[in-house]
Amino acid sequence: MSLIFYYAPMSTAIITRAVIDELGLDCERVKHDLSKGETRTPAFLKINPNGTVPAIVHDGTAIWESAAIAMYLGDLFGVQANLYPAPGPKRGEAMKWITWSNVRLADAAGRLSAALPAGSEGGVEVAVSAEQRTAEALATAQKDIAECLRILNDALSGKQFLLGAYTLADTHVQGFVAWLGMMGTELGSYANISGWLARCAERPAVAKTMDE
């Protein structure tokens, strides 16, 4: 098997790294510096025309978007490792949470990141318009994040992890929630989320990303 992982620090590629490490996959790791435009080179754009990380090339086929990568690797390698459900309702539930985190939660988190003052922890430093960095934009993002966290907190009621046992859905979703915490979002009032994050942090693959 040939697997190449393209990543950059402080990006959603951290989540993909945790997925790869959870599965114990050997791969070539290629680091890119976003500030130097290394994901906008002709060579990289042939791999991902969006010019973003994460991306993987598995046996010659390029796959991008962290949700797609998590589900693809989960399907190939996660079932046997008891980290991803076999086809059926539980598989659909895992896909639901992975996709939700990339679409609804990441959208709100991205707007929060853009609205934070320049230089803030987790904030965006480039390509932010004046409209994105206003008090109103910040308040709207915070309101939407609070609703996402309510949904997640309710879903974790009475459960150790999203599907009961730990899966790659937890690996994936916790990465976005940890990003919110890094940006100063108060998570302590969400008891189910706080306990879940602590349990996720006990996974060596997740703990490794938190140390960087």
Domain boundaries of the chain, sorted by first residue: 3-78, 89-207
Structure confidence by residue, pLDDT tens digits, 53-101: 999 999 999 999 999 999 999 999 999 999 999 999 999 999 999 999 9
Of the pLDDT bands very low, low, confident and very high (cuts 50, 70, 90), residue 121 is low
As a whole number, mean pLDDT of residues 9-16 equals 91
89-207 is a CATH 1.20.1050.10 domain: yes
In the 3-class helix/strand/coil scheme, how is 119-184 assigned residue by residue? CCCCCCCCCCCCCCCCHHHHHHHHHHHHHHHHHHHHHCCCCCECEEECCHHHHHHHHHHHHHHHCC
Structure confidence at residue 54 (pLDDT): 97
Structure confidence at residue 99 (pLDDT): 98
Whether 131 shows a pLDDT value over 80: the answer reads no
Of the pLDDT bands very low, low, confident and very high (cuts 50, 70, 90), residue 167 is very high
Q: Give yes or no on whether 3-78 and 89-207 have one common fold.
A: no
Distance (Å) of CA 76 to CA 64, 69, 196: 16, 11, 26
d(Cα 127, Cα 18) in Å, to the nearest integer?
28
Residue with tokens 């602590």: 198
As a whole number, mean pLDDT of residues 198-212 equals 88
d(Cα 168, Cα 172) in Å, to the nearest integer?
6
Residue with tokens 């590629």: 13
As a whole number, mean pLDDT of residues 175-195 equals 94
Sheet-wide strand order for 28-31 = 28-31, 3-7, 55-58, 61-64
Structure confidence at residue 98 (pLDDT): 98
Identify which has the larger pLDDT, 7 or 209.
7
Whether 206 shows a pLDDT value over 60: the answer reads yes
Structure confidence at residue 91 (pLDDT): 98
Whether 137 shows a pLDDT value over 90: the answer reads no
Instruction: For the domain covering 3-78, report its CATH number.
Output: 3.40.30.10
